[in-house]
Amino acid sequence: MQLTPVIAIHMSAAIGALLLGPVALWARKGRLQRPRLHRAFGYAWVTLMIVTAVSAIFIRDFKLPNLAGYTPIHLLVPFSLGSMTIAFVALARGKIALHSSTMQRTYFGACVLAGAFTLLPKRYLGDLLWHQWLGLV
């Protein structure tokens, strides 16, 4: 697989979401809360996650175990979009605890866990990291 414009957009949005997520989550933690910072970084994070999820639909890999080019990691697309929908509906209904826990789980599952899976060998970033950058494998 080569670096295509779709992969570049997907990767940029995913890395941005990985970096912005902790700020959005942190801004509402502890005694001193920062609602403006939380809202700004939260909206930016959600936007990046939507770009990441939608762009993932156009990235297909026929080498790994797949179904029409879609690998198991593509299951994160409906998970991410569904989780963010649930979180915003919860927020609109005033269910702040549900909103908070849903966003935390979405960050961990769709950013941290998915990011770890992309670094496995035989995946594009995994091959770049382990083979080309570090000279391993």
Q: What is the DSSP letter of 13?
A: H
Rounded to the nearest angstrom, the gap between the alpha carbon of residue 13 and the centroid of all alpha carbons in its chain is: 8
For 11, the 3-state DSSP assignment is helix
The rounded mean pLDDT for the chain is 90
Determine the Cα–Cα distance for residues 42 and 27; give it in Å rounded to an integer: 9
Return the domain boundaries, the chain: 5-133
**Strand stretches in the chain, DSSP E:** none
Which long-range contacts (C-beta less than 8 Å, at least 24 apart) are formed by 28-32? Answer: 28/100
Determine the Cα–Cα distance for residues 33 and 56; give it in Å rounded to an integer: 34
Task: For tokens 């700004």, name the residue.
Answer: 40
| Structure confidence by residue, pLDDT tens digits, 59-100 | 988 877 888 888 888 999 999 999 999 999 999 999 999 999
pTM for the model:
0.87
